[in-house]
Structure 1
C-alpha cells in the first residue's frame, strides 16, 4: 500500500542526514512501498502505521553498486 501524506506535511519533511534533500514516496524499485526515499542521498526511510520513521539508524542506505544496505541492529 502506498504512503499517503498530507500535502503540507510532505512539503516540510526532509531527510535528517547532512546531505539531506526532499523525500518522495516509495522506493526506486517499488513506488508503492511503505517508505520515503531521499532525493539527494537515496536513503530509504520506513513508514510504520502511517508514521515516517526519519531516523538515520533505521534508514536503508544505498551502496556503490546500486543495491542497499539494511540498517545496523
Structure 2
C-alpha cells in the first residue's frame, strides 16, 4: 500500500517545515532543503529528525 496523496500533501519536513517528496522507490520521503530522507516503515512515515538519514548526492 502506497502513501495516500492527501497525506503527502499535508506532510512537511519536521526540521525546516518545507516540502517533502516521495523517493523513486517509494520507501522514504525526501526534503531537498535539509538533504534528509525520512524512512517509511510498514506504510508509516517516520518523521523524526533523529531518525532521518542524509540524502546521498
Please report the TM-score for the alignment, with normalisation by the length of structure 1: 0.66
- What does 1:23-42 correspond to in 2, within 5 Å? 23-26=20-23, 31-42=24-35
Query: Unpaired runs of 5+ in structure 1?
Result: 67-73
Using the TM superposition, give the Cα deviation of residue 5 of structure 1 relative to its aligned residue in structure 2, in angstroms. Answer: 1.6
**Larger RCO of the pair (alpha carbons < 8 Å, separation 6+):** 2
Larger radius of gyration: 1
| From 46, 52, 59, the counterpart of 2:45 | 52
Runs of 4 or more off by more than 3 Å in structure 1? Answer: none
* Structural RMSD (CA): 1.9
Residue in structure 2 matched with residue 6 of structure 1 by the alignment = 4
